[in-house]
Amino acid sequence: MNKSPATLTLEKRREQLQPHIVQVSPNVWVSVAEDVSNVAMIRGKDGLVLVDTGMIPDRAAVTLEAFRNIAPLDRYPIKAIIYTHGHGDHTGGSPVFCAEGSKPEIWARDNFGAEVLPFERAGLMPLFKARGGKQGGFLLPPEKRICNGISPVRYPRAGGAVFSGKTGAVLPDHFFSDDVTLEIAGLKLHLFATPGETDDALSVWFPEERVLFCGDDLYRSFPNVYPVRGTGNRDIPAWCSSLKRLESLDADVLVPGHTDPFTGKDHVKEVLTNYREALEYVFDKTIEGMNAGKTPDELAREVRLPEHLSSLDYLEEAYGNVSWTVRNIFNSLVGWFDGNPLHLAEGNSPEREALHMAALAGGEEALFRQAQNALALKDAIWAARLADHLLALKPRQKEYLTLKADALEILAEEMLTATGRNYTFSVAQELRSRAEKTATNPEGPVASA
Ligand SMILES: [Zn+2]
Q: Distance from the CA of 392 to the center of ligand 1, in angstroms?
A: 37
Q: Distance from the CA of 104 to the center of ligand 1, in angstroms?
A: 22
Residue 164 has pLDDT above 90, yes or no: no
Residue 161 has pLDDT above 50, yes or no: no
Residue 59 has pLDDT above 50, yes or no: yes
User: What type of residue sits at position 207?
Assistant: P
pLDDT digit string, tens, across residues 191-221: 999 999 999 999 999 999 999 999 999 999 9
Task: Give yes or no for a contact between 134 and 426, defined as CB atoms under 8 angstroms apart.
Answer: yes
pLDDT digit string, tens, across residues 366-385: 999 999 999 999 999 999 99
Helix, strand or coil, per DSSP, at residue 69: helix
Q: Distance from the CA of 262 to the center of ligand 1, in angstroms?
A: 17
Mean pLDDT over residues 34-51, rounded? Answer: 98
Q: Distance from the CA of 37 to the center of ligand 1, in angstroms?
A: 6
Q: Distance from the CA of 38 to the center of ligand 1, in angstroms?
A: 8
Q: What's the predicted TM-score (pTM) here?
A: 0.93
Q: Distance from the CA of 256 to the center of ligand 1, in angstroms?
A: 9
Dihedral angle computed from the Cα positions of residues 17, 21, 24 and 30, in that order, rounded to the nearest 10 degrees:
80
Q: Distance from the CA of 336 to the center of ligand 1, in angstroms?
A: 28
Q: Distance from the CA of 24 to the center of ligand 1, in angstroms?
A: 20
Q: Distance from the CA of 220 to the center of ligand 1, in angstroms?
A: 12
Phi and psi torsions of 231, nearest 5°: -160, 165
Q: Distance from the CA of 422 to the center of ligand 1, in angstroms?
A: 17
Contacts (Cβ under 8 Å, ≥6 apart) of 47: 76, 77, 78, 79, 102, 184, 185, 186
Residues with beta carbon < 5 A to ion ligand 1?
37, 89, 216, 257
Distance CA(247)–CA(227), nearest Å, equals 25
Helix, strand or coil, per DSSP, at residue 176: strand
Phi and psi torsions of 92, nearest 5°: -65, -20
- Mean pLDDT of all residues in the chain? 94
The answer to which of 51-55, 124-128, 159-163, 418-422 has the lowest mean pLDDT is 159-163
pLDDT digit string, tens, across residues 391-406: 999 999 999 999 999 9
Architecture (CATH level 2) of domain 5-220+229-260: 4-Layer Sandwich (3.60)
Q: Distance from the CA of 413 to the center of ligand 1, in angstroms?
A: 24
Q: Hey, where are the domains in the chain?
A: 5-220+229-260, 346-440
How high is the pLDDT of residue 443? 56
Task: Give yes or no for a contact between 82 and 204, defined as CB atoms under 8 angstroms apart.
Answer: yes
* CATH, domain 346-440, list 1.10.340.30, 1.20.1560.10, 1.25.40.10, 1.25.40.880: 1.25.40.880
Q: Distance from the CA of 88 to the center of ligand 1, in angstroms?
A: 8
Q: Distance from the CA of 246 to the center of ligand 1, in angstroms?
A: 18
pLDDT digit string, tens, across residues 339-375: 999 999 888 899 999 999 999 999 999 999 999 999 9
Contacts (Cβ under 8 Å, ≥6 apart) of 405: 428, 429, 431, 432, 435
Q: Distance from the CA of 433 to the center of ligand 1, in angstroms?
A: 31
Distance CA(395)–CA(248), nearest Å, equals 56
Q: Distance from the CA of 90 to the center of ligand 1, in angstroms?
A: 6
